[in-house]
Chains A and B, each alone.
Chain A
């Protein structure tokens, strides 16, 4: 069975400092990994996904199959990055998302 672990429930970072939100997964095959974000009073939305290999709002995430990780990183945090971040996994052919428990990121001005 698939499982996604986000070890940090809460993370506070000063504005301008680097951010790393951790995500580890367990799945024996080749999953697709996603980061979803939920800003205050907004709906859950895609931030980025592994296959796109894009940088969105300065965030990047690299899939490390050896460590089964998909950590989210940004070199310089901005106040508007404060939000709830969810790492999620899906498998082709049965595409329900398995979510981690989420990390609430707070950027300190």
Chain B
């Protein structure tokens, strides 16, 4: 079936503007993750949704970052008042719920964000 999809694939914005990044997980996957891939920081965890539980927001770098997951499926990552250091590739991943061990995460193609 279809894998994880993300949109847009590329986004160029001006410093101070808000952006929204979208993720469509694999159908039936209850867990959804956002990561950021940047030259200076490598791959960093941002936020994790699992079913109806409260999300793990421990990786969000500032209160300008927020995410929601509607209806247990599609997720939107919002960055308010973007800064140049927000420039990165934002990756979404999804997985089944682990029953006894962490499940494999399947990644989307990413959204490349450039803040001018």
- Number of residues from A at the complex interface, CB < 8 A: 23
Main secondary structure, interface of B, reads: strand
In the complex, residue of chain B having the shortest beta-carbon distance to the beta carbon of A6: B42
Is B33 touching A96 in the complex (CB atoms < 8 A)? yes
B42 A95 Cβ-Cβ under 8 A: no
- Whether a CB of chain B sits under 8 angstroms from the CB of A25 is no
Q: What separation, in Å, do the CA atoms of A101 and B101 have in the docked complex?
A: 24
- A86 within 8 Å of B (CB atoms): yes
Residue count of chain B within 8 Å CB distance of chain A = 27
> How far is it, in angstroms, between the C-alpha of A102 and the C-alpha of B35 when the chains are bound?
15
Report Cα–Cα, A95/B48, bound state, in Å.
Answer: 8
Residue on B nearest A86 in the bound complex, by CB: B43
Among B10-18, B21-29, B61-69, B106-114, the stretch that binds chain A is: B106-114
Nearest-Cβ distance from residue B72 to partner chain A, whole angstroms: 17
